[in-house]
Structure 1
Amino acid sequence: MKLREPSSIRISGMGGQGNILMGLILAESLVKEGYWVVQSQHYGAQVRGGLSFCDVLFSEETIDYPKAETFDVLYLMHDIAFSHLSKVKNNGIIFYDSSYIKALPQTVARVTKKIIPIPASKLAYEKLGNSNVANMIGLGAIAKNCGIVSLDTLVEVMKKRVNERFYEIDEKALKIGYEFVEKKYEIKNNGHSVGRGF
């Protein structure tokens, strides 16, 4: 029996923006929610300032191949990651930090209309006085918009991954992202909806 292709998410940005941490927390949260998960991360030659990205594949069945060529969900934290726009699936979902990225290239509209700008860095600075937690706002927004992970699970896993002095601000940031629901888009996989509808 052929296994169903896993759902795939790529979180992409500039080294130092916290996209790898986002992917680690998301992957571990999906495991806690009962999915099979594969997570991988990629750094450019420059650890800070170069392109870095994190891929998370998840499925309710075992995953037989640990890589994806195209993605159901793409989250762009910086325009340095525009090269990854070619990897979004037809009718996939694109989130981007509209604090840094004013607009996506027009060609993207030919591939998908499911595009959600999130002013994550602006929200982090205005509401919490710290733009470094923009990654947690983005993570909360992806989880809620796609209905894949509960806020409680994200908070629980975050507290295993960060220093306890950041618990309070990171939890607030996750909540801000979770409440930022401009539109809700289900991930579609082989015609099936993915997610638990949180």
Structure 2
Amino acid sequence: MKGTDRDRTLALAGVFQAAGLVNQIATNGMADAQWLKTTLGTLFVRDPQDTADVFGGVDGVAYGLRRLGEQLGGQRANMQITQYGLGALILERKLSKDSTRMNALGEGLEGARRQEEAFGLTHDNTVAALAEVYSEVISPLRPQILVRGSEGHLERADSANRVRALLLAAIRCAVLWRQVGGSRWRLIFGRRKLINTAGELLRRTDPS
């Protein structure tokens, strides 16, 4: 599927949105509820009309657009967020080449969807089901994404589950990034275009 600069920017913003939320949980023990819901929701979107539809519109990835600008711009970059985002892109490439693992991912997400339909998107049962999918399907891949933060936060089962569920969402957005023409070379040589497009998109969203 051929995508536009807008499509690629939104998809990569989704990766950094999830990565930023992982960092929030690792350092503060919680993530913003609005962005958590939107980001986990990307795992259950079927047949989106366009890239923005994956997030319920551009407003749904505004947090990620800000993080993208900061991370690629360099001046306010957070190394942990960068590592989580790039880690998701690397793991997605490995995942895409493993048909058995891809099938297992699809089956796992269908199981999590049943939890979501019964309990709601951010309910502990749904988040735990998504975390289990990550543990079983993604965790065996290398290199693993190592999350650093306060052990007091990361040792809590609910926080650990949210981190794994968000990393799964980061990989889902990495899939989208590749589908719309994203690549390592675009990330390296098209960095300024991504930053500028993110800024343009942010100016059209409601402040939050």
State whether TM-score is above 0.5. Answer: no
TM-score by length of 2: 0.26
Q: Which has the higher strand share?
A: 1
Higher relative contact order (CA 8 A, sep 6+): 2
Q: Per residue, is there more helix in 1 or in 2?
A: 2
